[in-house]
Amino acid sequence: MSKSTAPIGSELAVRDYSLTGDSTRQAIENGLSAAEWYHSEVPRKKLKSLMKRRDAPAIRDTVIWIALHFVFAAGGLYFWGSWLCVPFWFAYGVVYGSACDSRWHECGHGTAFRTRWMNDVVYHIASFQIMRNPVNWRWSHARHHTDTLIVGRDPEIAWMHPISLVLKALAFVGIVETWTSLKVLMRNAMGNLSQEERDYIPESQWPKAVFWAWVHIAVYAAVLVVSLVLFVSGAGWKSLIPILLIGGPRVYGCWHFVMTGLLQHGGLAENVLDHRLNSRTLYMNPISRWIYWNMNYHIEHHMFPMVPYYALPELHELIKDDLPPPNTSIWDGYKEMMGSVMKQRVDPNHAMRKTLPRTARPYLEHLHRAVPERNTGLEISDRGGT
């Protein structure tokens, strides 16, 4: 079903994942940045219907999402002091600390709701839950879509070489990431943006980044104060409740979003311009799909980021004959990904490459082997427009 080769574009002697180093310069010089990408053919009328926005599906899912926060938190509080509270906190952690990732993502794209302010409100709530500065991450994700897995350009590469399996395992309990996120928010709140943040965030947006970092830090500080006051008042273990409710789920409830997120591009090729080579589509159980808002259709999402999450299954049916066969489950995806990752730990140039169905157009190797210069104006359309 699959074989391993090293796409020419990924054969780097040394990988520098910073956004201001040698790999950045090489990516730009080689035409890998802001390049033309392959996409499957979808008739314009059909694509329009798939892109069409509705409020109803996301309102339904958001009402359920918010309601689950209250139900599970209420169960956790009601059974406090007994082991029966554990499954409630476990479930609360997932709807807070994992479902927020997909809400952050989809509302950041502006595709979840038709009504713009609804996207913005959920985006900010979810950004807070996942401890991401909503300004920084909006721009980093735009770059991720422009330059997906292009070394030196994409700030959101999850599997950077050399791969540390210990750090990846720790990510499932979120301690390192939470601490890192809080440090970034603190730094931003003090008006300090890193060189990389200054690279992908326009200067006009820097004050907004500082403002939102302040908001996040202020809320977390208030939660900490309440917790300390409870502790000093003799509340004992109950003084942890504010942290279990706000902030804590980023640690104890993030495992699901880490599990699904690592599958998006893990073990696949860097520095290619065909999402079929660097992204993974897989099938998964309906609960995970609801938490993940259908981002398991990840090739489809990268090819057509304007298609809302609720239309991705239909898009998948439409273009699946042009895509590599999807993995059949999360377990199947992990088997495939980890097999490739273990090889990448020895040879970072290794990348797994699935065999396309006969109905598919071949991988467009020439796109990353010899990328034509990208200029404004007519030359772009001559190569296929968008």
Residue ranges that bind another protein, judged by CB under 8 A? 34, 45, 48, 51-53, 109-111, 114, 116, 138-139, 142, 145-146, 202, 204-205, 304-306, 374, 376-378, 380-381, 385-386
Sign of CA dihedral 111, 112, 116, 117: negative
Q: How far, in Å, are 201, 228, 244 from residue 237 at the CA level?
A: 42, 11, 11
Residue 287: exposure state from Cβ atoms within 10 A (0-12, 13-18, ≥19) = exposed
Distance CA 209, CA 188 (A): 7
Q: Which is nearer to another protein, 79 or 206 (CB)?
A: 206
In angstroms and rounded to an integer, the radius of gyration of the C-alpha atoms of the chain is 22
Shortest CA distance to 359 belongs to which of 319, 328, 316, 326?
Answer: 319
Q: How far is the CB of 154 from another protein (least distance, A)?
A: 14
Q: Which is nearer to another protein, 111 or 296 (CB)?
A: 111
Amino acid at 332: D
Q: Which is nearer to another protein, 263 or 307 (CB)?
A: 307
What HEC string does 68-80 produce?
HHHHHHHHHHHCC
Q: How far is the CB of 203 from another protein (least distance, A)?
A: 10
Q: What are phi and psi of 251, to 5 degrees?
A: -90, -55
Q: Which is nearer to another protein, 263 or 319 (CB)?
A: 319
Q: How far is the CB of 129 from another protein (least distance, A)?
A: 20
Shortest CA distance to 311 belongs to which of 56, 68, 23?
Answer: 56
Q: How far is the CB of 381 from another protein (least distance, A)?
A: 6
Q: Which is nearer to another protein, 153 or 256 (CB)?
A: 153
Q: How far, in Å, are 38, 246, 249, 317 from residue 364 at the CA level?
A: 7, 46, 42, 22
Q: How far is the CB of 53 from another protein (least distance, A)?
A: 6
Helix (H, G, I), strand (E, B) or coil at 353: strand
Q: How far is the CB of 109 from another protein (least distance, A)?
A: 5
Q: Which is nearer to another protein, 139 or 159 (CB)?
A: 139
Do residues 263 and 334 touch, judged by C-beta distance below 8 A?
yes
Q: Which is nearer to another protein, 34 or 169 (CB)?
A: 34
Q: How far is the CB of 358 from another protein (least distance, A)?
A: 28
Q: How far is the CB of 185 from another protein (least distance, A)?
A: 19
Q: How far is the CB of 264 from another protein (least distance, A)?
A: 18
Beta-strand runs (E) in 6-160? none
Q: Which is nearer to another protein, 32 or 337 (CB)?
A: 32
Distance CA 276, CA 294 (A): 17
**Residue 278's Cα: distance from chain center in Å?**
14
Q: Which is nearer to another protein, 82 or 204 (CB)?
A: 204
